[in-house]
């Protein structure tokens, strides 16, 4: 790769990492007291400890940003407008779930929203796969974790009717 192309790689990667981190930060603003709230909920036996969520999401957000960067690098914004727009939509839905669940404490709305998020992740993954298969594959852990989170959201909502 020529030096001029290498110089463009780092700002591009930094940009996608920044966009993804911004969505994470927006979601995190509503979850400052999430560990305390989560510990008060009646949880299924298979629910992970609150300490697991931060490291998992850090890894997932990193993989997501790398996937978006790979698609952008291959086709640019104009060439991959559809998949990259889907990526931004799913990022917004991702951030919104945290506000709905931890901020508003609305189990039914958070559950409906996370189902939409799952659909957006699948659509993004397919779009990324068509541009660069490895980018689609990088979203598989995110899809798996969000599928798990969907089941957990349902279980928490149903087990905590007065709180969620």
- Of 55, 89, 83, the closest CA to residue 69 belongs to 83
Count the domains in the chain. 1
Does residue 66 sit in helix, strand or coil?
helix
- Of 118, 139, 119, 116, the closest CA to residue 129 belongs to 139
Flag residues of the chain having pLDDT under 70: 1-7
Would 82 be classed as within a structural domain?
yes
pLDDT value of position 10: 86
pLDDT value of position 2: 45
- For residue 105 the two structure tokens come to 């404490």
- CB atoms < 10 A from the CB of 138, how many? 24
Would 130 be classed as within a structural domain?
yes
CATH number at residue 132: 1.20.1260.100
Would 164 be classed as within a structural domain?
no
Would 47 be classed as within a structural domain?
yes
pLDDT value of position 58: 96
Residue with tokens 């914004």: 77
Would 89 be classed as within a structural domain?
yes
Q: What is the dihedral of CA 16, 61, 67, 9, to 10 degrees?
A: 40
Find the helix or strand (DSSP H, E) in which 47 lies.
Answer: none
Would 128 be classed as within a structural domain?
yes
Would 67 be classed as within a structural domain?
yes
Would 141 be classed as within a structural domain?
yes
What range defines the domain where residue 18 resides?
Answer: 3-159
């Amino acid at each position: 790769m020529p030096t001029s192309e290498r110089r463009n790689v780092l700002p591009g990667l930094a940009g996608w990492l920044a966009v993804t981190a911004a969505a994470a930060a927006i979601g995190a603003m509503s979850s400052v007291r999430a560990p305390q709230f989560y510990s008060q909920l009646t949880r299924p036996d298979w629910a992970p400890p609150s300490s697991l969520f931060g490291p998992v999401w850090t890894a997932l957000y990193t993989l997501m940003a790398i996937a978006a960067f790979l698609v952008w690098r291959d086709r640019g914004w104009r060439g991959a407008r559809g998949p990259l727009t889907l990526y931004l939509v799913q990022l917004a839905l991702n951030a919104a779930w945290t506000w709905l669940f931890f901020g508003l404490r609305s189990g039914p709305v958070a559950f409906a929203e996370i189902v939409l998020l799952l659909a957006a992740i699948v659509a993004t993954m397919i779009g990324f796969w068509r541009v660069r298969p490895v980018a689609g594959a990088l979203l598989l852990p995110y899809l798996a974790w969000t599928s798990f989170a969907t089941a957990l959201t349902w279980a928490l909502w149903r087990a905590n009717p007065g709180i969620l």
